[in-house]
């Protein structure tokens, strides 16, 4: 089984709207995220991060900045006893094939890991774009959102006819469910 994970809002604290995590100093793991990743590492066959990073296209950060953030994030996860098998990111803004909810990042992952079966995979995200991507791919969809955002996102999903298999408060909570 493959678990696809959005980054901002699932693994780390999301910056305010219009801002981006631009450096390791701005990166902050969400409560329970490291423990959740450790639990998922023990059970999932593959953990892959798929993340939109339009801050690059907007000139707020460079790909080198993003690479540094990811290198340090992976080191912290390994040090805690977890793992991430791959990270795919979209540096573009607007319509492109790799920006979620489109499937380009996922198809790149499948090219690198041909054994991936989307129907046996789960996508864990915090936004409607993640739920749309899961639906397009035929993956199970898990929403990570606090009560303040959960209701709004679930209503958007209902209006768009998007199934949500599970809604949880954190990656740790997801890691303790039977869906993980």
Does the pLDDT at position 11 exceed 80? yes
Catalytic residue among 8, 65, 126, 130: 8
Token reading at 174: 């997801």
- Alpha-carbon distance of 84 to 101, in angstroms, equals 21
177 by Cβ neighbours in 10 Å (0-12 / 13-18 / 19+) ranks as exposed
Cβ atoms of residues 173 and 151 within 8 Å: no
This prediction's pTM: 0.96
CA distance 89 to 169: 24
pLDDT in tens, 57-86: 999 999 999 999 999 999 999 999 999 999
Reported as a pLDDT band with limits 50, 70 and 90, residue 95 is confident
Among the options 6, 65, 126, 130, which is catalytic? 6
Task: Please say if 8 is a catalytic residue.
Answer: yes
Task: Determine if residue 144 is left, alpha or beta; phi over 0 gives left, psi from -120 to 50 gives alpha, anything else beta.
Answer: beta
CB under 8 Å, gap of 24 or more: what pairs does 60-67 form? 60/19, 60/20, 60/22, 61/20, 61/22, 61/23, 63/91, 65/22, 65/23, 66/91
> Residue 6 catalytic?
yes
Domain ranges of the chain: 2-175
Give the mean model confidence (pLDDT) for residues 86-105.
Answer: 95
CATH topology of domain 2-175: Rossmann fold (3.40.50)
């Amino acid at each position: 089984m493959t678990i696809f994970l959005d980054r901002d809002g699932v693994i780390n604290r999301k910056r305010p709207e219009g801002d981006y995590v631009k450096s390791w100093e701005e990166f902050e793991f969400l409560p329970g995220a490291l423990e959740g990743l450790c639990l998922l590492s023990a059970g999932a066959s593959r953990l892959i991060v798929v993340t939109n990073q339009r801050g690059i296209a907007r000139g707020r950060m460079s790909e080198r900045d993003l690479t540094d953030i990811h290198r340090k994030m992976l080191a912290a996860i390994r040090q805690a006893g977890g793992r991430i098998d791959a990270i795919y990111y979209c540096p573009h803004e607007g319509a492109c094939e790799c920006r979620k909810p489109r499937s380009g990042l996922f198809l790149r992952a499948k090219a690198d890991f041909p054994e991936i079966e989307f129907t046996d995979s789960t996508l864990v995200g915090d936004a409607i774009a993640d739920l749309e991507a899961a639906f397009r791919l035929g993956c199970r969809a898990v929403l990570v959102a606090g009560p303040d955002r959960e209701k709004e996102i679930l209503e958007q999903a209902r209006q768009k006819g998007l199934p949500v298999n599970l809604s949880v408060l954190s990656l740790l909570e997801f890691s303790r469910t039977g869906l993980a």
